[in-house]
Structure 1
Amino acid sequence: MYPRKFYFHLVTATVLIVAGSGIVVTTPISVAKKTNINNQNAENTKTATSIQDVVRLHQEAIALSRQSKFQQAQQKLQTALSISREIGDLSLEAATFNNIGRVYQQQGQNSQALKSYLQALVINKELSLKEKTPGQAHIALGKTYSNLGYLLSTQNQPELAIFFYKHCVNNREKVRLNPTAFSGRKLDAYTLTVAQTYRALGEGLLRSDRVEEGQRIMDLIKVEELEEYLNNVQGNQRTAKGIELAPAEKPIKQKLDKTLDSAIVLGKELTKLRQIPPQQRLPQQKQRIQQLVKNQQQILEEFNNFIDSPDVKAQVEEINRTARRQNLDLESLNQIRDNLSQLPEKSVLVYPLVLKDSLELVLVTPDSPPIRRSVAVNQDKLNQTILAFRRALENPSLDVKKPARQLYNWLIKPLENDFKQANVKTIVYAPDGQLRYIPLAALYDGKQWLIQRFGINHITAASLTNFNSPPPSAMRVLAAAFTKGSYEVKVANRQLTFSGLPFAAREVESLAATVPDTKKILDDAFSLDTTVPQMDDYTIVHLATHAAFIVGKPEDSFILFGNGDRATLRDVATWSLPRVDLVVLSACETGLGGKLGNGEEILGFGYQIQKTGAKSAIASLWTVDDGGTQALMSAFYTLLPSGKLTKVEALRQAQIALITGKLPAIVQQQSRNNQLSAAIEANLNHPYYWAPFILIGNGL
């Protein structure tokens, strides 16, 4: 690029500056320097305006394309492309090529769409190579791979779609180690959201019976959902590995890399030449630009032809033949198996994936390849049954066993024989979608509840969970309760009233009687400023107060303190609780008002507690407004200090005690002392009382 030349006379002006001492001094300022500054400011202003113009043109083009006005949309995008090149913004140029590809794809012009996506890919690949730490260029590169994957999936090329979707995931997971990069400039240049890409990849892998790879992406789906809900979710070395390419995919990868490398070399020279204003380009420079464009198009055309070549078709057949049978040495899967094998009870990991027309189940055991079972139930029917089950759970007068049995048939029965062969004692469960709103413990097999057969340990994602950290040797409990008064809380444009919990004081008293080393905090003393700083001095933090996990933003979900203070879900992550083994929220609620979302708020709560350093949490999916919570918690804390039971097993035994009515003697005495009514005590076997409580995190 030739530098711009400025011609001026050197003139010196004198400006009077009054210093703080009152002395007048003179300072010469070069007019040449001032002129350069003014020119730079003007250039910056022009660039900022140009960027705004490009963003506006993109928005207008997308709106036009949705109205099927494709020619006008392309005209807008071609103008945006020219402006992007004029200001030398390669990221905007790549985004524009992505949108050009989208418009071509909407018209069914798939070959043109592919060429446009590949042009975007070359630019984003070049930009990503310049990043010392993976950041926004890697994100954009990944999203362009997603566009390519979606295009190929619409052309009934699922294996190639999987190949490109994997590249989207792998680039994005690298960035998760530097999560602030996700907050950068975004343009609507991508056909699928990232979460949709992850799910499309998971569906493609499972449909192809590539279960080991499917398990991996099912785990990373949870991580991406957390990112979309909470933002800036920090990854780790396990997530950063992404998803491994199958051996049969690697020749395609080599050809793609070679194509991109060749095109990038040409692209760098092309970018430099285009930075010269058109009116200042020499004839040979104009000719070189034309030649470079032609050469780059030829390279991309070769790859386009390669995609449809007999070589690739043969490679795809090889993927079909071998990928589902290959024992991929997935380090992340081996680590999960190792973790499961070290747990004291025989444990397995169960992932459901809710798809539009099926429910996919993946089972991971310590000593066998992952197992996939597909259930023919569509998403609408599944969600309707979940809602019916949820309503019956919250109302003891309704028949809960019918939906409980149906959900058992869909979620557990397909895996029953696998459970028997693995001699399963504990299910480590990573629910998906609206399954997060119901307790697996309350599924019914026709004879007994699932909790009577298995311990159940919920997790956010295996790659974010440390299963094997042992509990502390001695229990010290901080027990706080909101027992009287009421507070008006505005949540998502609704005014809600939260009143003190009548049994909360007795719950805390019972806990203190069971665990001698317990500190009690009630009502006004139970404030944000006084309670949070004390938490890390204890191994268990028990909060008998309202907490609401509400569909919407993290700021809408909160924990209510006894003096009316609130900590939002986002606030919770700022707590430092590395020495806390367990956080218990005994009166929290999800699905408030009957509105079920996708369960991100429950997933988010588990992650935020984990982020504090605390090893696990117990939360309730609905509030039990009577002595049922007190009875269950008393049983739990009676069983836990023995040191013979894990947290998962202690919770399970407490729930079974309510089901069978065989409460520990000390709990029966406390119930009599607290005048727990005979009617309530008789009905504690209904899952309304014992089923809402789920353990999330490390269940040891």
Structure 2
Amino acid sequence: MKTIHYRRISLTVFTTLTLIISFIPANFLLVFQSPSVSAQTANSEALSLVKLGDYYKELNNIPRAIEFYQQGLAIAKANKDQSTAVSILKALSEVYLSQEDYAAAIDVSRQGLALAGEILDSSAEMKFLDYLSRAYYLIADYEQAIKYSQQHLASARTATFSGQFIQNHLTVTRRGKSVSDEAQALMTLGNIYYQKSEYDKAIDYYQQFLSIARSQKQRQGEGQVLGNIGLVYASKGEAAKAIDYFEKDLAIQREFRDRLGESQTLGYLASAYSRLKNYSKAVEYYQQSLLIAREVKYTRGEAINLYNLGLTLALFGKLPEAEKSLRDAIDVHESLRKKLGNNDAYKVSIFEQEAKIYQGLQQVLIGQEKNNEALEVSEWGRARAFVDLLARRLSTNGKGVTTSEPVVDKPTLPLLQKIAKQQNATLVQYSVIGDDKSKLYIWVIKPTGEVTFRESDLESLLQKENTTLAKLVTTSRQSIGVRGGIIASENLNQLKRLHELLIKPIADLLSSNENNRVIFIPQSSLFLVPFPALQDEQGKYLIEKHTILTAPSIQVLDLTRRQRGAETTTSLENALIVGNPIMPKVVLEPGQSPEQLKDLPWAKKEAQDIASLLKTDAITGKQATKAAIVKKMPSARIIHLATHGLLDDNRGLGSAIALAPSGNDNGLLTAEEILNLKLNADLVVLSACDTGRGRITGDGVIGLSRSLISAGVPSVIVSLWAVDDNSTSFLMTEFYKNLQQKLDKATALRKAMLTTMQKYPEPKYWAAFTLIGEY
């Protein structure tokens, strides 16, 4: 388990004013607050409100401060006083960052950056770039953080070259000068690359910062970067060298009586001693760091210390104490998540860091043989943002207005057992554990409520086979020709090896009745596993023995069931069938010119055959425009899209379905656009390439399937790789024939796969599709 370190990003240290606002006469406050005082201009009124906001901020009455800032901002905007508006937005950005309200900080900083650009205020632009880089860093969206930090650095260096001196407001200390904007940008970039484990880049940026801090005689900045350099060495396994840097840093923090800096450095020292297996010393330093973090109300620091303390206590053999510390860390993180409001993207980003805490707690619980409690934690630690999003959608009325605050129940064991019973299926939940992914926990919940825990040993993968589970998943996909590789019988052993790790440990717990459903709940790289194609020792495929579905979490299954309501069968009426639209032009490689996607004649035949079965008309060619299809989607009960799929495994929400362009649109229906639709379909089939893929996160796969379920669809069929046009057409037609026989969706898909297997024996032709959600 890896120690978490959030790199230092200095926050302004506020001192309490000697002026106590409670002594301000009431009539003086009324004058400041009145929007119609004739003696004041609109400009002075806005500035007066800002002044009040500053007073309340210094007294740490943040809600009141924000209230006055927002009143002043409204007046400044109404009177088109852009300069005052920029000043207020800076104040708001700083307050929101100090309160760890990153969603609000990003929002106002973006407003400020645009406005500062309009009035050519380069100093303000740099501040907003810095705010944005820090906010994105703190929610672990490192690509956005790098983008804004690089812009900040370039602007700062341009300003320095032109003779300007722009003081950085973020590293104000109680004594001494501030470092420059250039130095602050260098520090942030070093922090980001440290988190990305790109240690050489991190040291390079830190050394540049150190040179500037020393040339400016900025002692506290020097101490901070010495600590950061120490962390890099600690992460590289050079703990003794790291301690030397940390002790120099600690002396400087104490010299300046910087309690926050002292807390962070104590935490760094603790991590170094833990690496040296001096656990008693590590625990002592973590506890000191935790006390100070609580004293200065640094919530993130409190969560980090609780997590690291928990890991160290576990290594020290004190499992009950470790459990308490990790549970406390989760509680603190919950308070941070609530501050992100309804912003799904920010919740996904911050959960990347939270996931480690849930994994650490699972290990501690399993170490105490609390297997069922570990299952609860495993479920609570996955698809959290997705569950929140679904719960919020379910709590809205038909007009999209929230009728009540969505309540997401904690996944207690009775709740999980109830869901298994409602699904009438065996649930198989996987949890990949450890920084080296050396453990695989598996829980099986039967429809009867019986819960069994098994563990799959991945150590042999690392030690004997020199590979990881993630790499094995990739090579297994390649072995069946998913990426055009050569198919050889010996390569199919990869599918057997995956079966040995994922299925064999629980095979005796799965029903011998092939019609009984098994729902797999994967994690991380396991989302890409072709479960139907896994083979046992006799070479029998898993789909031949079981009816298979997948889901990102057990609670998502429950929420999709609630989306579906009381319906138990799939209505084949009012179907929207689309095939082979006139393809759009797409940039397939960065820097290249757009090229038109290839025609898919079998997708057209597929759509026409299915439409004929369902007694409707297929929409193909130039009629299948994005605008026309999006207009029809909300009223359709079945949506079938046979076309090209485009994968975005960087951001996820850019994954798209290709439709015919028209007007000003490019013909690409993205996951981001689908997320904002309100759909009433019982089933959506994305008969295209890679539609089940996207950006794999701690919250699951961010892509088309997630967006469709969030938009109201209880069941989605998607593909895990680039599918063949001809065999896919055959498989999909068989699927709808099975639905006509009143089979449920999972059974219909299984039988279609088995029929396709007879005509196209190789797994790449029939094993790509998976049913996510309700059966």
Same fold (TM > 0.5): yes
Alignment partner of 1:209 is 2:369 = yes
Alignment partner of 1:585 is 2:686 = yes
Unaligned runs of 5+ in 1: 7-23, 86-92, 129-136, 243-330, 661-681
Contact 1:408 / 1:443 at 8 angstroms: preserved in 2?
Answer: yes
Larger Rg: 1
Instruction: Read off the aligned partner of 2:571 and give its amino acid letter.
Output: A
Measured after TM superposition, the shift of residue 559 of structure 1 is: 2.4
**Counterpart-to-counterpart distance in 1, 2:713 and 2:346:** 34
- Over 3 Å counting, the alpha-carbon distance change for 1:500 and 1:164 in structure 2 is farther
Paired residue total:
545
Instruction: Read off the aligned partner of 2:681 and give its amino acid letter.
Output: V
Deviation per CA, 1:245-281, whole angstroms, max 9, x where unpaired?
xxxxxxxxxxxxxxxxxxxxxxxxxxxxxxxxxxxxx
Map of 1:97-496 to 2, 5 A cutoff? 97-108=263-274, 113-115=282-284, 117-118=286-287, 121-122=290-291, 141-173=302-334, 176=337, 179-180=340-341, 193-223=353-383, 332-343=412-423, 345-353=424-432, 355=434, 356-378=437-459, 380-393=467-480, 394=482, 397-399=487-489, 401-420=492-511, 425-445=516-536, 446-466=538-558, 468=561, 469=564, 470-471=567-568, 474-475=571-572, 476-485=574-583, 487-490=585-588
Alignment partner of 1:630 is 2:645 = no
Identify the structure with bigger relative contact order (alpha carbons < 8 Å, sequence gap 6+). 1
Percent of counterpart pairs with the same letter?
21
Partner-residue secondary structure (3-state), 2:412:
helix
Instruction: Read off the aligned partner of 2:524 and give its amino acid letter.
Output: G
Contact 1:428 / 1:459 at 8 angstroms: preserved in 2?
Answer: yes
Map of 1:2-81 to 2, 5 A cutoff? 3-4=18-19, 37=51, 48-50=170-172, 57=221, 58=224, 61-67=227-233, 68-76=241-249
Contact 2:299 / 2:332 at 8 angstroms: preserved in 1?
Answer: yes
Contact 1:211 / 1:370 at 8 angstroms: preserved in 2?
Answer: no
Instruction: Read off the aligned partner of 2:736 and give its amino acid letter.
Output: Y
Partner-residue secondary structure (3-state), 2:321:
helix
Alignment partner of 1:567 is 2:633 = no
Q: TM-score, normalised by structure 2?
A: 0.60
**Counterpart-to-counterpart distance in 2, 1:215 and 1:235:** 25
Q: TM-score, normalised by structure 1?
A: 0.66
Contact 1:346 / 1:424 at 8 angstroms: preserved in 2?
Answer: no
- Over 3 Å counting, the alpha-carbon distance change for 1:611 and 1:77 in structure 2 is farther
Instruction: Read off the aligned partner of 2:672 and give its amino acid letter.
Output: R
- Over 3 Å counting, the alpha-carbon distance change for 1:506 and 1:215 in structure 2 is same
Measured after TM superposition, the shift of residue 611 of structure 1 is: 1.3
Measured after TM superposition, the shift of residue 81 of structure 1 is: 7.2
**Counterpart-to-counterpart distance in 2, 1:104 and 1:3:** 37
Contact 1:539 / 1:582 at 8 angstroms: preserved in 2?
Answer: yes
Measured after TM superposition, the shift of residue 354 of structure 1 is: 5.4
**Counterpart-to-counterpart distance in 2, 1:161 and 1:234:** 37
Measured after TM superposition, the shift of residue 558 of structure 1 is: 2.5
Deviation per CA, 1:131-177, whole angstroms, max 9, x where unpaired?
xxxxxx76654333212212323434344323322222244346545
**Counterpart-to-counterpart distance in 2, 1:30 and 1:628:** 72
**Counterpart-to-counterpart distance in 1, 2:729 and 2:449:** 41
Measured after TM superposition, the shift of residue 459 of structure 1 is: 0.3
Partner-residue secondary structure (3-state), 1:554:
coil
- Over 3 Å counting, the alpha-carbon distance change for 1:611 and 1:401 in structure 2 is same
Measured after TM superposition, the shift of residue 461 of structure 1 is: 0.9
Contact 1:212 / 1:369 at 8 angstroms: preserved in 2?
Answer: no
- Over 3 Å counting, the alpha-carbon distance change for 1:599 and 1:372 in structure 2 is same
Map of 1:598-609 to 2, 5 A cutoff? 602=701, 604-609=703-708
Partner-residue secondary structure (3-state), 2:688:
strand
Contact 2:605 / 2:729 at 8 angstroms: preserved in 1?
Answer: yes
**Counterpart-to-counterpart distance in 1, 2:701 and 2:640:** 18
- Over 3 Å counting, the alpha-carbon distance change for 1:565 and 1:63 in structure 2 is farther
Judge which range, 579-588 or 414-423, deviates more. 414-423
Deviation per CA, 1:604-649, whole angstroms, max 9, x where unpaired?
443322211111211111222332111111111111134x322111
Contact 2:689 / 2:723 at 8 angstroms: preserved in 1?
Answer: no
Q: Supply the RMSD in Å over aligned alpha carbons.
A: 4.6
Measured after TM superposition, the shift of residue 694 of structure 1 is: 0.4
**Counterpart-to-counterpart distance in 2, 1:621 and 1:183:** 24
Contact 2:584 / 2:667 at 8 angstroms: preserved in 1?
Answer: no
**Counterpart-to-counterpart distance in 2, 1:215 and 1:26:** 63
- Over 3 Å counting, the alpha-carbon distance change for 1:413 and 1:493 in structure 2 is farther
Contact 1:352 / 1:432 at 8 angstroms: preserved in 2?
Answer: yes
Deviation per CA, 1:74-107, whole angstroms, max 9, x where unpaired?
554665678796xxxxxxx557514431233314
Judge which range, 567-576 or 488-497, deviates more. 488-497
**Counterpart-to-counterpart distance in 2, 1:633 and 1:215:** 36
**Counterpart-to-counterpart distance in 1, 2:631 and 2:508:** 49
Measured after TM superposition, the shift of residue 28 of structure 1 is: 12
- Over 3 Å counting, the alpha-carbon distance change for 1:28 and 1:500 in structure 2 is closer
**Counterpart-to-counterpart distance in 2, 1:615 and 1:214:** 28
Measured after TM superposition, the shift of residue 586 of structure 1 is: 0.7
Alignment partner of 1:689 is 2:765 = yes
Measured after TM superposition, the shift of residue 537 of structure 1 is: 0.3
**Counterpart-to-counterpart distance in 2, 1:571 and 1:84:** 51
Measured after TM superposition, the shift of residue 523 of structure 1 is: 3.6
**Counterpart-to-counterpart distance in 2, 1:591 and 1:474:** 23
Map of 1:541-690 to 2, 5 A cutoff? 541-563=639-661, 564-577=666-679, 579-589=680-690, 602=701, 604-642=703-741, 644-660=742-758, 682=759, 684-690=760-766
